[in-house]
Structure 1
Amino acid sequence: MGAGADWRAAPREDRRSGLSQQRKCVGPVLRKTCFSVCVATAGFVLLLGVSLLYLPDPYKPEQFVPEEKHAVTLLIWTHPFGRYRKLPNCSALYQIGGCTLTDDVHVYPQADAVVIHHRDVATGTADLPPEPRPLEQKWVWMNYESPSHTSGLWRFEGVYNLTMTYRTDSDIFLPYGYLLPRGSKTEGLNDRFAHPLLAPSRSHLLRPRLVAWIISNWSESHARVALYHQLRRYIRVDVFGRAGRPLPEDSGGSVVRLVGRYQFYLALENSQHTDYITEKLWNAVRAGAVPVVLGPSRQNYERFLPPEAFIHVDDFPTVRGLARYLLMLRRNPARLKRHLDWRGDYSLHQPAFWAEHYCTVCRAVRRTRGRADSVQDLTRWFHS
């Protein structure tokens, strides 16, 4: 998992009282010298070590507490997007005990907490649970869409007690992916699901294909589509997905296997917001391709992975400059290697939707018994 300045969330009482923290984005800076890259890398490693002391709920070793003493019942109010999934056994999968998960709405009066997926209640697919809620019951707002694709927030001011999102300042934080230093205690907690990242070999550096992009949601209003139109003027970009060619049969439908044939992958988000860094980036990392990213600022990305691990489009004054840099790296494997050498020190964990999310909520609820304050400024905070 990445690290950076001000890793820990702003004090919860500030957000509850409506004083949401406004983050100042620092303009991306192109690292032009070996010295600056080394300094940035050293800073990442140092801050990563510090941040491990303050890891969010999913990553902390859980102190032993008798399960019967703090056992909780967690009600999944709706399966996200109406797609049923079998509920996980948190103890067997994630060593999180004392959790009973259910999707039986008749258990509502006895539930310690209720997980509510925003899209389902915002679109009217489902109603909120009935009021008045049972005493000390927590309602958890769960949302993994960006603010640009999250509607109707104003309707839920003061409704929820806890937030769960990809944002580092959520009450319950679980990102789309994170790095684990090899050999750390944290890696040991997650090694069942972690993917060791291999240092680059010669064949790795000489992959036959240049740039891939997989996209399903194509909109001419998106910045990523405008970028693609410009980039293809200078280099070839192979486009796959519903908006491009089907994934080839010999890839077995695997995005990671397909991307593994390319030197670079366009990890372009559909909108640019704080901490909104999705599986696009992590699929490229797992596949061993260097991600070319469009999303939040470089500074924001560096909270999640080393500075040389990705190429930010804002590092270049023009798209032509970006294309020329990619072509230069293709001709110079030694330079390309600098973007991949960090890999041997880490493993990658990509949380499973939605099993790990439910178990993470359950752990957080166990640790915060008693009625929580309500979230009064949900809209302002999420759009900050």
Structure 2
Amino acid sequence: MELVEWKKISCKKLLPFLLFSFILSSCLLVFFLFRISETEHISSNPSAQTACAAAPPKRAPRLTILLWQWPFGQHFNFINCSKLYSTPDCRFTLQRSWAQKAAAVIVHHRDVCGDTEGLARLPRLPAQRWIWFNLESPSHSPNLSAMANLFNLTMSYRRDSDIFTPYGELQLLGQPQPLSIPPKTKLVAWVVSNWRADSHRVKYYQELKKHIAVDVYGQHHLPLPWDQLLPTVSQYSFYLAFENSQHEDYITEKLWRNALASGTVPVVLGPPRENYECFLPPDSFIHVDDFASAESLARYLRELSRDPGRYRSYFQWRRWLKPVVGSDWAWHVCRACHFLQTTELRYRVVPDLAEWFV
């Protein structure tokens, strides 16, 4: 009697489980029959089979950029621009056969300024962008007035260029770095290649050297091999980063490489202080305009060199920022590659380069 009662109870408990198992099995059976039918349909229908295959995404064709000729005749190796920017690389060529196929043509000013009429007669595609490229100052850029209405885009050191290509820039570090200043054993250095006695910078130097010793390197002065430039300048407390002409944003490798990359304090002569502060922290350089005379500047440099704490304050920005020299031609043309792929362009022409580039 007890055994019969146990069986009744067990069956009552098992009944929901058996019902659930039956429903689950039925669902699985229907599912598998559906999948078999669907597979047979695809197998017998090639077009359906093709449609279901995942087609690989098509890559957009690489932009081709024609460099009209080597800048100043200086050959260089093109680099993979995708390593500098999060955009695809471009195809660069100097083959003029691409003149009617390239997306853009980069024309270096100093290499064509003597034949602007010939440049104007060249056939061009309606959608093609001609890029005016120049790193020289207006004082050394002849025949600008003849360049009107020829180009669609500007590429220069000017911040208001379409494609901004500075001589250098400051890179923000991921975390603060320990401050390291090269040992200083000498006072003031200047490296100059283009010596013109009537230039503003040479006249200022002539006055400055009356009050403080300045070691001058370059042609007709102390010899300095290229590979010894940075190690030599790094021994000096100050470097004269004097530009050959004074124009807006014209701040060249004299500051970025010769001074900042060597680890010395630049004494600058160029555009006004507020223009330099668009590129640099205000306490990273000394501007000649801050002093009433070359004599007062010399006095300040001597005092600063004798005060390690004050001198060290000119390097505090280096804990967070790193100077990067960008004067390599390949680096510049990659900026054009990146710009063309990331900027929505409406067709236009630059009407008057001479009026803008001053």
Interval of TM-score (by shorter of Structure 1 and Structure 2): 0.7 to 0.9
Q: Hey, what's the Cα distance between the residues in 2 that align with 1:95 and 1:155?
A: 37
Contact 1:135–1:371, Cα closer than 8 Å, also in 2: no
Match of 1:12 in 2: none
Tell me, yes or no, if the aligned pair for 2:80 and 2:89 is still in contact at 8 Å. Answer: no
- In structure 1, distance between residues paired with 2:191 and 2:178: 23
1:127-147 deviation line (CA, Å, top 9, x unaligned): 527533112000000000001
Determine the C-alpha separation between the residues in 2 that align with 1:308 and 1:232: 24
Question: What is the match of residue 8 of structure 2?
Answer: none
Per-residue CA distance 1:24-46 (angstroms, 9 max, x = gap): xxxxxxxxxxxxxxxxxxxxxxx
Does residue 268 of the first structure (1) align with residue 276 of the second (2)?
A: no
Partner of 1:177: 168
Counterpart residue number, 1:376: 351
Q: Which residue of 1 aligns with 2:29?
A: none
1:108–1:198: structure 2 CA closer, same or farther, 3 Å change rule?
farther
Structure 1 residues 4-43: Cα deviation after superposition (integer angstroms, max 9, x where no partner): xxxxxxxxxxxxxxxxxxxxxxxxxxxxxxxxxxxxxxxx
The 1:124/1:269 distance shift into structure 2, 3 A limit, reads same
Cα distance in 2 for residues equivalent to 1:198 and 1:122 = 48
- When Rg is computed on C-alpha atoms for both structures, the one with the higher figure is 2
TM superposition shift of 1:375? 0.3
Provide the rounded CA distance (Å) in 1 between the counterparts of 2:141 and 2:343.
Answer: 27
User: Take 1:97 and 1:182, find their aligned partners in 2: how far apart are those partners?
Assistant: 25
2:282 maps to 1:299: no
Residue equivalent to 1:221: 198
Distance 2:206 2:94 in 1: 45
Q: CA deviation at 1:94?
A: 4.7
Letter in 2 for 1:339: Y
Displacement of 1:89 after TM fit? 2.6
| Deviation of 1:165 (Å) | 0.4
What's 1:71 paired with?
62
CA distance in 1, matches of 2:247, 2:327: 22
Moved more, 131-140 or 113-122: 131-140
Looking at structure 2, the residues matched to 165 and 290 of structure 1 have their Cα atoms a distance apart, in angstroms, of 26
Of 112, 130, 145, the match for 1:121: 112
Question: One-letter code of the match for 2:199?
Answer: H
Task: Report the CA distance between 1:332 and its aligned residue.
Answer: 1.0
Deviation at 1:347, TM superposition (A): 1.4
Query: Contact 2:116/2:147 (CA < 8 Å) preserved in 1?
Result: no
Whether 2:248 is the aligned partner of 1:257: answer: no
Give the distance between the partners of 1:366 and 1:129, measured in 2 at CA.
26
Mapped to 2, the partners of 1:261 and 1:103 lie a distance apart of 42
1:254-295 deviation digits (Å, cap 9, x = unpaired): 322211110000000000000000011112111111000000
Is the alpha carbon distance of 1:342 and 1:220 closer, same or farther for their aligned partners in structure 2, counting shifts above 3 Å?
same
- In 2: Cα distance, 1:137 partner to 1:198 partner: 49
Alpha-carbon contact 2:239-2:265 (below 8 Å) kept: yes
Check 1:127–1:198 CA distance in 2 against 1; reply closer, same or farther (3 A cut).
farther
Equivalences for 1:27-38 in 2 at 5 Å?
none
Q: Give the distance between the partners of 1:282 and 1:223, measured in 2 at CA.
A: 21
Contact 2:208/2:298 (CA < 8 Å) preserved in 1? yes
The CA distance in 2 between the partners of 1:178 and 1:140, in whole Å, is 22
Residue 143 of structure 1 is matched in structure 2 by 134
Once the two structures are overlaid, the 10-residue window that deviates more, 81-90 or 307-316, is 81-90
CA distance in 1, matches of 2:155, 2:135: 8
Q: Provide the secondary structure at the position in 1 that maps to 2:227.
A: coil
State the distance in 2 between where 1:341 and 1:356 align. Answer: 28
- Other structure's SS at 2:328 match: coil
In the alignment, what sits opposite 1:50?
none
Q: Is the CA contact (8 Å cut-off) linking 2:63 and 2:90 kept in structure 1? A: yes
Q: Secondary structure at the match of 1:97?
A: coil
Contact 1:73 1:102 in 2 (8 A): yes
Q: Answer yes or no: is the 8 Å Cα contact 1:73–1:111 preserved in 2.
A: yes
Alignment map for 1:272-351 (pairs within 5 Å): 272-283=246-257, 284-351=259-326
Measured against aligned partners, the alpha-carbon deviations of 1:142-165 in whole angstroms (never above 9, x if no partner) come to 000001111101111010000000
The TM-score with structure 2 as length reference comes to: 0.79
1:208-263 deviations in whole A, cap 9, x for unaligned?
Answer: 10000000000012111001101111111000011411116xxx733222111100
Q: TM-score, normalised by structure 1?
A: 0.74
Aligned-residue offset at 1:95: 4.9
Counterpart in 2 of 1:88? 79
Kindly state the Cα deviation for residue 93 of structure 1 after the two structures are TM-superposed. Answer: 5.4
Give the 3 Å change call, closer, same or farther, for CA 208–363 of structure 1 in structure 2: same
Q: What residue is the counterpart of 1:207 in the other structure?
A: 184
- 1:309-337 deviation per Cα after TM superposition (whole angstroms, max 9, x unaligned): 00000000010000000000111111111
Higher relative contact order (CA 8 A, sep 6+): 1
For 1:336 and 1:126, locate their aligned partners in 2 and report how far apart those are by CA, in whole Å.
Answer: 54
Q: Deviation of residue 69 (structure 1)?
A: 2.7
Q: Distance in 1 between matches of 2:85 and 2:72?
A: 24
Partner residue in 1 for 2:26: none
> Where in structure 2 are there 5+ consecutive unaligned residues?
1-56
For the 8 Å contact 2:104–2:131, the answer to whether it is kept is: yes
